[in-house]
């Protein structure tokens, strides 16, 4: 279930209650007349089945509730209620498969901010990957993949493509490009320093790093893994399953490929750097393509659910 707290301003209380009352997916409606102080208005609380949460919120948006009031969403982990059970049964589908689009939009907005913490994670993850490549330690490489924050902007691009939001595309691209640019520049400096103090061989030979050289070897398996990772990443984002998202960060080689390109570029191994850059580009493109396709399928399901809801509302109104 999803708990809604609605602040209705300007005499919109009755319109909100009409939306909530005519939906079988809504229960536990509580009205607090005049309870809101800033802004002044009425507070309405209710629970709605996760499957229809975005449908109800969309109707409230059409009433322009957010213009002067607000709509807050909160997940209910456990609820003991026959009314709630009936609301869940009324909404078609499985709660675990439902997408609360407002939550997805909010999370992607946060993950696409080009903040100092985002840049710090990007730089540190690349430096960890650089050390992993030098000492040929895949375990350390996995750690770098987990630390890397690059999936946030990639997910933002997928959401922006499906919802046709130019501002989110711009914001996500700036975060993605800025993060990799800053990370790779500082990783080059870091690599030059390690080379200067004698911690890196004068000539980088890929054959001497058999456990990590796969990073700069783009092939069909690289494409397949990146496509599957993009799909799983979006599913973990829309279903709020962060454990699956961790698996995605381990599966793809975006940060390690960028680190490999930076390290070999700093050492003048341009062929290796070029292959790593190709690996990076391939992964990014595949993740975005698969993620956007997965999100488009989920969005299509939501549109069908929304159309079905409208038919039910029109049917009740005509009767």
- Tell me which of 63, 98, 133 is where a domain ends: 98
- Same domain for 57 and 191, yes or no, is no
pLDDT at 85 over 70: yes
Domain range for 53 is 2-98
pLDDT at 308: 81
- Same domain for 144 and 80, yes or no, is no
**Tell me: the pLDDT tens digits for 89-113?**
888 777 777 788 888 888 888 888 8
pLDDT at 243: 53
pLDDT at 288: 94
pLDDT at 245: 62
HEC-encoded secondary structure of 176-189: HHHHHHHHHHHHHH
List phi, psi (to 5°) of 281: -65, -40
- Same domain for 134 and 94, yes or no, is no
pLDDT at 106: 86
Q: What is the mean pLDDT of residues 41-45?
A: 96
What contacts 59, CB < 8 A, 6 or more positions away?
Answer: 19
pLDDT at 63 over 90: yes
Query: Reduced to 3 DSSP states, what percent helix, strand and coil does the chain have, rounded to the nearest 5?
Result: 70, 10, 20
- Same domain for 84 and 165, yes or no, is no
Prediction pTM value = 0.85
Domain assignment present for 313: no
């Amino acid at each position: 279930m999803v708990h809604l707290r609605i602040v209705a301003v300007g005499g919109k209380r009755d319109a909100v209650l009409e939306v909530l009352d005519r939906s079988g997916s809504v229960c536990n409606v509580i009205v607090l007349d005049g309870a809101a102080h800033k802004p002044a208005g009425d507070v309405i609380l209710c629970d709605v089945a996760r499957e229809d949460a975005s449908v109800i919120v969309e109707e409230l948006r059409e009433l322009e509730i957010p213009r002067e009031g607000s709509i807050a969403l909160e997940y209910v982990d456990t609820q003991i209620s026959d009314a709630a059970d009936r609301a869940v049964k009324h909404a078609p589908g499985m709660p675990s498969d439902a997408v609360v689009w407002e939550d997805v939009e909010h999370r992607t907005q946060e993950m696409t901010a080009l903040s100092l913490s985002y840049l710090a994670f990007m730089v540190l993850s690349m430096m960890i990957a650089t050390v992993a490549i030098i000492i040929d330690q895949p375990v350390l490489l996995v750690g770098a993949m987990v630390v890397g924050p690059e999936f946030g902007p990639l997910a933002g691009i997928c959401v922006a493509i499906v919802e046709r939001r130019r501002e989110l595309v711009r914001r996500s691209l700036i975060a993605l490009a800025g993060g990799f640019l800053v990370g790779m520049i500082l990783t080059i400096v870091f690599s030059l320093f390690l080379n200067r103090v004698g911690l890196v061989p004068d000539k980088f030979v890929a054959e001497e790093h058999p456990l990590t050289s796969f990073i700069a070897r783009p092939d069909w398996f690289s494409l397949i893994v990146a496509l599957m990772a993009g799909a799983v990443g979006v599913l973990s984002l829309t279903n709020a399953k962060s454990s699956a998202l961790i698996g995605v960060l381990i599966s793809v080689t975006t940060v390690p490929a960028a680190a490999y390109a930076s390290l070999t570029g700093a050492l003048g191994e341009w062929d290796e750097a070029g292959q790593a850059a190709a690996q990076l580009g391939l992964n990014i493109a595949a993740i975005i393509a698969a993620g956007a396709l997965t999100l488009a399928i989920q969005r299509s399901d939501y549109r069908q659910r929304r159309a079905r809801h409208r038919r039910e509302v029109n049917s009740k109104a005509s009767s």
